[in-house]
Structure 1
Amino acid sequence: MLQKNASAVPFTSAETSNSVFESLTAAGPIIKGTVTDVSGSPLPGATVLAKGTKIAVLTDFDGKFSIEMPTNSDRLVISYVGMETKEIGISNTNPVIVLNEAGQNLKEVVVTTGYEKTSKRTFTGAISKISGSELKVDGVVDVSRMIEGKAAGVTVQNVTGSFGSTPKITVRGSSSIFGDTKPLWVIDGVVQEDIINVSFADLASGNSATLLSSAVAGLNANDIQSIEILKDASATSIYGSRSLNGVVVVTTKQGRRDSPLKVTYSVENTVRTVPSYTQYDILNSQESMSIFQEMRTKGYLNQSSSITARFSGVYGILAKEVNRYNESNGQYGVRNEQPYINEFLQKYELANTDWFKVLFRPSITQNHSLSFSGGGKNNTFYGSLGYYTDPGWTLADNVKQLSSNLKGTFFINDRLNITLSTLASIRDQEAPGTYESKNDAVFGKITRDFDINPFNYVLSTSRTLRPYDENGNYEYYQNNWAPMNILKELKNNTMGIKVNDIRFQADIDYKINKNLTYNFTGSARYANTSREHKIYEDSNVVGAYNAGVGATLNTQIQKDNVFLYQNPNDLTAPKISVLPNGGFLRKYTNDMTSYNVRNSITYRNTLNDKHELEGFFGTEFRSVDRNNDNFTAAGIQYEKGLSAFIDPKLIEKLVNEGNSYYDFGAERERTVGFFGKVGYTYDRRYTGSITGRYDGSNRQGDTGSSRWLPTYTLSGKWNIKEENFMKNVESVNTLALRASYGLTATAGPATNSLAIYRSFITNRFNTGDRENAINISDLQNADLTWEKQFETNIGFDLGLFRNRVQVTTDVYSRKAFDLIDYVITSGVGGQSVKQGNNADMETKGIEFGFTTQNIAAKDFKWSTTLNLSVYDQKITKLANRPAVFDLIASNGGNTVGHPRNSLYSYQFTGLNPEGLPTFKLQDGAENNITEANFQDTNNVMKYLKYEGSVEPNKSIGLANTFTYKNWSLYVFIVGSGGNKIRLNPVYNNVYTDQTVFTKEFANRWINPGDEQYTNVPVIADQLLNRNYGANNLQIAYNTYNFSDERIASGDFVRLKNISLGWEFPSDFKRKLGVSTFTLKGSAVNPWLIYSDKKLNGQDPEFRNTGGVAFPITAQYTFAINISF
């Protein structure tokens, strides 16, 4: 750190070879050198002092210095804010001096934007910097999950914990209504493109594509030197038309010059806890059986209906046993007499199956990382290899991933250096076989065929059912009219995911002169993914496609089964199977190829020690190609050498339903940009900066004003600490004000700069009448342009007591405009809705960062970091008229006057005397039951109730670090709030004996008059379903699921991470010949400190949508880190 008298020393710049005190001391040799940090990055503005004198200089932006030594001094003292002071002799005339980090202040010194490195002192933007050591969370693999709570203004929602799925990340509340709001990820100066485009809303869908949504799933966290999150227009504007949602800049590690080989190995062994029914409000088997008995008295679960039901459990098993005749002993499986029936049912009543223990396992994941680094006089190198293996938290999932990173820098001469790097990863993953979810806007529900997600299965399957019978054999119940056993199904219905990703990059820096540097950055990346959904012959899916015909002939099932084929020319003909042999193979392939080329010139100069000039200009070209295809192959005989038995009726069935068995798509994106930045600092006190960029893209309209976009930022900074009246205030080390105003943008979700035509085959009653056709998917919008935003930011930085107390505050206002909207048109051209730049939105917020070194004794240290943020958002202009279902579903919808993705509800007005729920609906009356219209778009705000946004607008992160001698303790708490959550839909007009009931049902309406004491609807009997109509009553119960009675607060506080580490003593490490040897135990997500009691165990972040989605869970890690 700086010496006490350092502020009183009148420094010269590095370009001036002599000190201003030269005349006071006899001159000696001129010493030239470079000052860097441990990663080899230069440290601009470091103090180089001739020991015992007042002769000192500052390093230039490349960390270089030149000092003329006096004859009475032969040692240099080098100091830098946030670094340990170092003293060296002058025997080496060209030393490379490496300073080690001292405390937590290094991150405040140099800022990396991905395009350039600049001094924190002159940087005018809002940024949060996280060092690699602060970022790392043992047991967590995806880097995107590690930033939660560690940067003010950045919100992370773990809507799913599945590997490869990204959390919902927003910076300052995001600024697009219908478009992508994920921040831009940049690794070593190059944008990391998404392999596939998964919309923000779809991240919580549970569809298999979400497993490919993380842009950094293949990045090894041990390779990261630091992360900078750029938040305001001044910080992000250099990215121009891709800067609207913030930028996350990742800098990876590199070697050091003149350093011996250093080898580091780390291993993390992590065990995840198996969930427990004690966390959820689910009835046990005895309580469930009592409800089944009530259902029997109401006309359900009789033997005939149980046999032909689409879904049946205990009573379906009973019906089959009563009718199963054993010819060998002349008896039925169960005698059709009440005592025997009661005895049979009792074993299921007492089963109380713990499906969590059946389907989940406390398996141990391993994360190995091996790295080597070092450097010679004219080169540095860094390489790493990472291997992650997860045998699976459930019986249905597992992951293996191999990642590598190679980076070498070659210093050709004093002017030229070249860096070559490669990032690569290979992933092999398995997940539950998954079909895509579907919205049913008529009845108001979201469905997924053949969902076997283990977590969703546990929370939706009665504990009366059993995985095995008394003889240890699989016990079957009925799903989709076919035999089902979840253990068998998980083996016969699988999803395999493969990802191959490689990126090459070259960086060239050429120093034209001492003030002017040329930089070239070029990269090429190729990523290929495949998802293979294999459905074997013994699966329930194949069973459903054959249920009711052939060996399982049942005319009622044959009539009801939607998976059978109905001859359209003879609707009276019996349905037939289109899958008499084999199973299915559903395959999805995505590949992405991207190129990025950037040329830039940087100018830096200091005149008369008072005028610092900075200029940065360049061009950039970007090319991204994405291809995708998918197909469904039927009749694959997995057990007979993969031979295919194809029934032509299957193709006919698909065509009749308007589906396709093969799809192909391609996306071509080209962008060119011209950018520049000019900065000026006077006397280290006043800084002004102008940044501009001019982008063009083929995604926008073909008019010049639409396709080309200028973005810009004006910003300034006042370093008050450098004022004369503050220089002698030793308690204040940093005091600065920042301000910026600028225009940023992003490409919206619309792609109809030209008309989009899609070919298809017409859906005719007779296949012979079908014909090729072209559909106008989107009308041309020649004026389609970028989504844009004006942003104003005012910031304040304060450092006290040798920067042991640091405070950063930012206040901002965002006005987004030209956002994509769905505009109602006259219908000319065949469409009533057209995408266009029509919507506006405003966001205002405040961020607060607070870091303290509370105790800094010799053996004991304690530091605290606190991040707080809150924002307010509202849509100010929107032509889109969303349907009711869009507004009440768990992802929320958009209306004027409220934040994006806001949640609405039907207004529940109580139960009627029959126990049915009533609502205030379109007509204003408050006793409506079945009249809800989920597709209504007219004046829906008159009867829907605004609840709040589904996205939290408040977040907090609190970290405390304690070190005592060789011990370290880290405690990290996160929280967020201001959002609302739709409770899981558990109510229906008809239940089955597979249904799992929550404890809410214990308070259900049973007798007339109960409506005075409870809001839980009746279990409707067959009479009610007949009187109101089963479909109408289904709407009524789904209306209840989407009512204000089924809303909870999303506020929560969680102990995110706690870890205890121990470093072996130096003497012991010396004997072993190692430099670092650390043992660490940690827990992630061990305690949900607070959440709304109405959630009843439902995680406030996770959206239980089935498919491939799994929640985050408590996990415990033991890690070893050793360096040679």
Structure 2
Amino acid sequence: MEKRRLCFQTPRGCWGKSWKIARMFSVLMCTLTFSVSATAFAQHEQVTLNFKQVTVRQVLNEIQRQTRLSFIYNTEQTEQLGQISIEAHNESVTSLLDRIFAGTGLTWKIQEDMILISQTTAETTKRQQAQQEKMVILTGTVTDAQKNALPGVTVKIAGTSIGTSTDVNGKFQFSYPQNQQQIVLEFSFVGMQTTSVKYAGQKEIDVILYEDQKELDEVVVTGYQVLDKRTQTSAITTVKAEDIMIPGVTSIDQMLEGRIPEMTFMLNSGEVGATPRLRVRGTSTLLGNREPLWVLDGIVMTDPVDVDPDDLNNPDYLNIIGNAIAGINPQDIERIDVLKDASATALYGTRAANGVIVVTTKKGRIGKPVLSYSHSSKITRRPRYTDRNINLMNSQERVRFGKELADQHYIFPTQMPLVGYEGALYRLQSGLTDYDTFLNEVTWYEQVNTDWFDILTRDAYSHSHTLNVSGGSDIVRYYASLGYDRDNGVSNTTYTERYTVTAKMDVQMTSKMLMAIKLNGNVQKKNHLVSTLDAMDYAYNTTRALPCFNEDGSLFYYERYRGGYGGQGNKYLRYNIVNEIDNSSSGYDGKGIQVDLNLKYNILPTWDVTATGSYSVSSTLQEDWWGDKTAYVAALKNGEYEDKPIPGDDGKCILPYGGILKTKNSDTENLTFRLQSNYRKLFGEDDQHLITALLGYEVNMLRSKSMNNEVRGYLKERGMQFADMSSLNLDDYPLYKEWLQQNHLTLTRGLTNQLSLYLSLTYGYREYFTLNVNGRTDASNKFGSRSNERLLPVWSVSGMWNIQETFLKEASWLSEMRLRMSYGMQGNMLDGQTPNMLITQQPINSYYNENVSNVYQFPNPNLKWEETKQTNIGLDMSFFNGRLNIGGDFYYKKTENVFSWVNVAPTNGLTSYLMNNGSLKNVGYSVTLSATPVKINDFAWRISTSYSANKNKTQTDAVEKYELEDYLAGTAIISGESVGTFYSYEFLGLNAQNGTPVFDDYTDRRHLLEDKSLEDVVRMVMTKSGTREPVFSGNLFNTFTWRGITLSFNLAYSLGSKVRLFALYEPIISGVSAENNVRKEFVNRWQVPGDEKRTRIPAIINRSDEMYDYYNRHWSQEQSNKTKTFAYNLWDMYDNSDIRVVSGNYLKMQTLTLRYSLQPKLLKKTPFSSASVSFSTQNLFTISAKALKGQDPSQAGFAKPNLSVRPNYTIGLNVSF
């Protein structure tokens, strides 16, 4: 006998009898509770349909799709009704059901959110009498991994339509015929793995559903779209935040090192808050900002403070202010998608030539509220003299070094501080002390051995905390978090402190409308040393024979020479670095808030419209303070703190009383509105054709204002007041009067408006191939170039061919093989380029008694857009059901009409002019591999690796824009060379007579260099050393899992760069000063003829040497010659010679983490649903060139020594309730 089937249908989400949002953060969320009458709901739900000769089941499916209602019915009963034709337009569900079942012997009724279709009473009685089968009641509970109840889970008997769904408590119950054998129950839920359970007659069935990570892996997020990874045509790399999360790291950008193919990560300092430089597929512009665009949940983010692109592009610039995502808590991040090729970035228009990093934050999930807490405690190791890279003399060695020079009758600088051996010797020779006192002083200096690193740095303790709650129903989902972190720097008094808050709510307003609202807020506070202080530089270059404290613990001051103005006012002023730090500061206070609102309305099943609005404001205050007790202020006062300022010209006083306060206030306001229409349609007999279309309109407004000011006479320690100087006769202090007459207050206002239109069209045939076209055009008030080119379109075409589906569908060993190709063009325009001359209006000039204006910028009517055209070819392969995955991309990117500055005659009012001048090419490729070599029972080993290469080349006309330092430091753009290429003097050896370095500097053929450009001279005289930016980079990531224990580590490597060793002679070019320390290499310096055969360290030339002045001033500096200056002195040439250039290749243990997750059985008697503890270390070791002698390869001698990236050790805790 044919069995009766019970059909149960559930929509994508179900209306509950009531819905509520439980506790969230104070003013961010409130409790929301209401009840909906099911009958009233059905009466108000309206549908529109038009069917001809279809089954009743098809009609019910359409009603279900347009509403939030579920149907339960016997399929035999509906099939007996045959096919029907029916039409409805905005008709209520109740009315429509009455028409469908009129006269059929079937009736309907509503129970909560379900409609039960059954026979009329007479028919039911007759059927029940004929029914002999006994029904069995089956009950159970469904939860997630954290033991939270899951409402709305579909439960059915496999292979049938018999089933139900769980209630708000995760419980289910339904009946089935007793005579069915070998029953298998299927449990399915959106975002969870479908689970099958065999039923063996037990009374209760408890099932746990686990999150479906595959769902996250199979989509990519571009900010404008969520694309199916199987059909996407672009070069996009996706990483889950949990996979790259590094405990104790408070900024997501610092977690990207080595994890994103084709992204170069460069961090030149270990200072707290230092921001890395990121490059996606090389460099796309020479003058504009080279950083990628940051996008948070579909909204483009802006930096809190406007930083000059020249600074951001400078590899030696230290950015401690932060970037656009500095206020985002990494614990709130779900995933990161990096868009790299033209197809992926086209929808972002002119802003995306450098790539796009799309950050997606966490959302609430259906279920009971889950409260989670995460904590990390981190120790960052300070530098020590025992570190390999700190190869400096101790006090005994430094005293011995000074004695050796004195024995050689070395003439020390006349104005050096009188400390150390040199100071004791001066006092002896001057008759101020006797010989015994001299010996006692020398012995004492040998034993001082001041540990400057211990005094000025610390092993820093940092900690972070995040508390979040999430949950919801199928109607409302919510997520909220509160974060706090305190990251203390290794340098004393430096730190960053941040508070973050996030609140998100997704509300299904009606069956067709979804609302999402989000709020982000952050408060940041930072403290660093003022620009005139550098603790690391001081510790590195100051002799250890100089004490910091007296025996009683008070500060030890020594006198430094301070030169006066016009030769007057020269004097010595006392100095102590700790006093300078204690009486100065550089503070940063920032706060920002952003509110996003998104409304999505489904007009038709295939067509929806989304309106997105975002409003953000941020405010920052930077304060630099120098107190009146600092040597910096004493130099301006021309006297000590306790001294009375000396009036008159002899005083040379610029600041009679108090200290200095420099402030910079910046406020930004950002408004974005987007209206976007999405269309998706399957058609054909088997739905084999797919068309998707996106059309959008976007408006952006960015308003900024800033105020810079400097005031003097500030008394911070006296209640932040200002010294009363009203009684001063300013004529007695002419320099201070002159300063007051200058304008130190600067106000800046900025407004950028942008209007954009964008389009995306995609056609797919089954999963065989996909074709895509993207385009966008931007109009903005900052595009002031040729009017007919203001709307330069950005566009791309791309395609994907599924080779596996086409030819190798039957190959069981091959899971995926897809070929991707794309080509597109992007444009870029610098701000403020107009066809009109720009002038700046200055205040009235007291001399002329007239208003003054200065030429700010020449008219530039012929300036064209920079145009970047990019071709990409990619291949993605997967084998053995995903156990082995291999991918690769090759790209060719060329930027034409590159912007560059050209020098012009000063008589024009400006010295340089912006032009389109040449091109820039980037060629590169990447290979990625991920595999699970071992997966046995509870043990699994997963491995992933990536390898990327990029080579760029510039082609520009020669311009006279760069200085000598630019060629030595790699900041000059040289035609035919890569960005970052630097030059060095070719070292020929040491002079056998006096140990000086020898170079071929064209001394004997100077005429060959006359009237040539500096670039030509550099190419002739120097040798190309390489590029500062790496050519190859990648990583090797391993994870070992056994039960609840996980061990993971990531090795990051960088290849192809060159670095210059820290300057050896710079501290002593002007003479060996008593306060300066020197590197231990000087022990092996040239001292006698023949030493040139054993060492490459030059001799130290005495001031009494007849060649001293010749060596200290290069001939190219002579005013009488016609050659550009290409060297300053012999010692600077040595520090910048090729012998001081070494490989920048390195292999770094970036992270090593051991994590233990407690098993559920251990948590049964605790309030926790999950818990884990971890220990991790970062930057544990670096393998690099031996010649570096421990110098961090990410730093170079192009600038003074900086704090290297420090190793740290972190303990983490994560619990959920």
When normalised by structure 1's length, the TM-score is 0.84
Matched, 1:1014 2:1095: yes
Provide the C-alpha distance between the structure 2 equivalents of 1:923 and 1:473, rounded to a whole number of angstroms: 55
Which deviates the most, 788-797 or 892-901? 892-901
8 Å Cα contact 1:426-1:499 kept in structure 2: yes
In the alignment, what sits opposite 1:373? 470
Residue number among 349, 368, 372 corresponding to 1:264 in the alignment: 372
Structure 2 counterpart of 1:914, one-letter code: N
Provide the C-alpha distance between the structure 1 equivalents of 2:875 and 2:272, rounded to a whole number of angstroms: 39
Matched, 1:837 2:916: yes
8 Å Cα contact 1:532-1:586 kept in structure 2: yes
In the alignment, what sits opposite 2:767? 684
Residue number among 882, 888, 893 corresponding to 1:814 in the alignment: 893
1:996–1:130 Cα change, 3 Å: same
Q: Secondary structure at the match of 2:1205?
A: coil
8 Å Cα contact 2:897-2:917 kept in structure 1: yes
Q: 1:287-366 to 2 correspondence within 5 Å?
A: 287-297=397-407, 308-309=415-416, 313-314=419-420, 318=424, 336-366=433-463
Provide the C-alpha distance between the structure 2 equivalents of 1:38 and 1:184, rounded to a whole number of angstroms: 37
Structure 1 counterpart of 2:541, one-letter code: S
Matched, 1:797 2:876: yes
In the alignment, what sits opposite 1:44? none
Matched, 1:239 2:321: no
In the alignment, what sits opposite 1:556? none
Structure 1 counterpart of 2:749, one-letter code: A
Provide the C-alpha distance between the structure 2 equivalents of 1:206 and 1:287, rounded to a whole number of angstroms: 35
Provide the C-alpha distance between the structure 2 equivalents of 1:285 and 1:579, rounded to a whole number of angstroms: 37
Matched, 1:742 2:824: yes
Matched, 1:940 2:1018: yes
Provide the C-alpha distance between the structure 1 equivalents of 2:270 and 2:1011, rounded to a whole number of angstroms: 34
In the alignment, what sits opposite 1:329? none
8 Å Cα contact 1:1051-1:1100 kept in structure 2: yes
Provide the C-alpha distance between the structure 2 equivalents of 1:667 and 1:282, rounded to a whole number of angstroms: 49
Q: Secondary structure at the match of 2:986?
A: strand
Q: 1:684-763 to 2 correspondence within 5 Å?
A: 684-723=767-806, 725-748=807-830, 751=833, 754-759=836-841
1:286–1:602 Cα change, 3 Å: same
- Mark the runs of 5 or more structure 1 residues left unpaired by the alignment: 1-12, 40-46, 57-68, 91-96, 325-333, 435-449, 554-563, 568-572
Residue number among 1016, 1022, 1028 corresponding to 2:1109 in the alignment: 1028
Provide the C-alpha distance between the structure 2 equivalents of 1:995 and 1:217, rounded to a whole number of angstroms: 38
Residue number among 951, 958, 970 corresponding to 2:1036 in the alignment: 958
Identical positions, percent:
26
In the alignment, what sits opposite 2:238? 129
Structure 2 counterpart of 1:397, one-letter code: T
Matched, 1:986 2:1079: no
1:318–1:524 Cα change, 3 Å: farther
1:819–1:100 Cα change, 3 Å: farther
The structural deviation recorded for 1:83 is 6.8
The structural deviation recorded for 1:676 is 0.3
1:797–1:972 Cα change, 3 Å: same
Which deviates the most, 982-991 or 858-867? 982-991
Which deviates the most, 1041-1050 or 220-229? 1041-1050
8 Å Cα contact 2:1061-2:1196 kept in structure 1: no
Provide the C-alpha distance between the structure 2 equivalents of 1:272 and 1:898, rounded to a whole number of angstroms: 39
The structural deviation recorded for 1:516 is 0.6
The structural deviation recorded for 1:198 is 2.8
Structure 2 counterpart of 1:494, one-letter code: S
In the alignment, what sits opposite 2:981? 902
Matched, 1:276 2:384: yes
Q: 1:390-409 to 2 correspondence within 5 Å?
A: 390-409=487-506
Structure 2 counterpart of 1:917, one-letter code: P
1:372–1:80 Cα change, 3 Å: closer
1:172–1:1020 Cα change, 3 Å: same
Q: Secondary structure at the match of 1:291?
A: helix
Provide the C-alpha distance between the structure 1 equivalents of 2:1012 and 2:716, rounded to a whole number of angstroms: 43
1:153–1:747 Cα change, 3 Å: same
8 Å Cα contact 2:529-2:584 kept in structure 1: yes
In the alignment, what sits opposite 1:94? none
The structural deviation recorded for 1:1091 is 1.1
8 Å Cα contact 1:746-1:787 kept in structure 2: yes
The structural deviation recorded for 1:661 is 2.6
Structure 2 counterpart of 1:730, one-letter code: S
1:414–1:878 Cα change, 3 Å: farther
Residue number among 494, 513, 526 corresponding to 1:416 in the alignment: 513
8 Å Cα contact 1:884-1:937 kept in structure 2: no
The structural deviation recorded for 1:1039 is 2.4
Structure 1 counterpart of 2:650, one-letter code: P
Q: Secondary structure at the match of 2:541?
A: coil
Residue-by-residue CA offset, 1:462-512 (whole Å, 9 max, x unaligned):
111121122322111234442111222110121111111111111111111
In the alignment, what sits opposite 1:490? 581
In the alignment, what sits opposite 2:658? 582
Residue number among 307, 311, 315 corresponding to 1:198 in the alignment: 307
1:338–1:312 Cα change, 3 Å: closer
Rg larger in 1 or in 2? 2
Which deviates the most, 888-897 or 272-281? 888-897
The structural deviation recorded for 1:208 is 9.9
Residue number among 88, 110, 114 corresponding to 2:223 in the alignment: 114
Structure 2 counterpart of 1:597, one-letter code: F
The structural deviation recorded for 1:247 is 0.4
8 Å Cα contact 1:390-1:398 kept in structure 2: yes
Residue-by-residue CA offset, 1:570-621 (whole Å, 9 max, x unaligned):
xxx5352222321111112222211111110000111131001100010111
Provide the C-alpha distance between the structure 2 equivalents of 1:997 and 1:204, rounded to a whole number of angstroms: 32
The structural deviation recorded for 1:265 is 0.1
The structural deviation recorded for 1:759 is 4.6
8 Å Cα contact 1:821-1:879 kept in structure 2: no
Provide the C-alpha distance between the structure 1 equivalents of 2:1200 and 2:77, rounded to a whole number of angstroms: 75
Provide the C-alpha distance between the structure 2 equivalents of 1:36 and 1:924, rounded to a whole number of angstroms: 87
8 Å Cα contact 1:180-1:748 kept in structure 2: no
Q: Secondary structure at the match of 1:474?
A: coil
8 Å Cα contact 1:909-1:927 kept in structure 2: no
Provide the C-alpha distance between the structure 1 equivalents of 2:615 and 2:1199, rounded to a whole number of angstroms: 36
The structural deviation recorded for 1:51 is 5.8
In the alignment, what sits opposite 2:950? 871
Q: Secondary structure at the match of 2:1053?
A: strand
Residue-by-residue CA offset, 1:704-759 (whole Å, 9 max, x unaligned):
23322201000000112222x42221211111000000012333367456433235
In the alignment, what sits opposite 2:620? 529
Matched, 1:671 2:754: yes
Structure 1 counterpart of 2:994, one-letter code: E
The structural deviation recorded for 1:127 is 0.8
In the alignment, what sits opposite 1:445? none
- Mark the runs of 5 or more structure 2 residues left unpaired by the alignment: 1-11, 14-48, 62-73, 80-112, 116-141, 147-152, 163-174, 200-206, 563-571, 1115-1127
Which deviates the most, 283-292 or 594-603? 283-292
Provide the C-alpha distance between the structure 1 equivalents of 2:369 and 2:219, rounded to a whole number of angstroms: 26
Report the RMSD for the aligned CA atoms in angstroms: 4.0
Matched, 1:919 2:1012: no
Provide the C-alpha distance between the structure 2 equivalents of 1:884 and 1:453, rounded to a whole number of angstroms: 25
Residue number among 838, 841, 850 corresponding to 2:929 in the alignment: 850
In the alignment, what sits opposite 2:602? 511
Structure 2 counterpart of 1:624, one-letter code: L
When normalised by structure 2's length, the TM-score is 0.78
The structural deviation recorded for 1:1012 is 4.5
The structural deviation recorded for 1:770 is 9.1
The alignment covers a number of residue pairs equal to 1029
The structural deviation recorded for 1:924 is 7.5
Q: 1:1071-1082 to 2 correspondence within 5 Å?
A: 1071-1082=1165-1176
Q: Secondary structure at the match of 2:770?
A: strand
Structure 1 counterpart of 2:511, one-letter code: D
1:654–1:1062 Cα change, 3 Å: farther
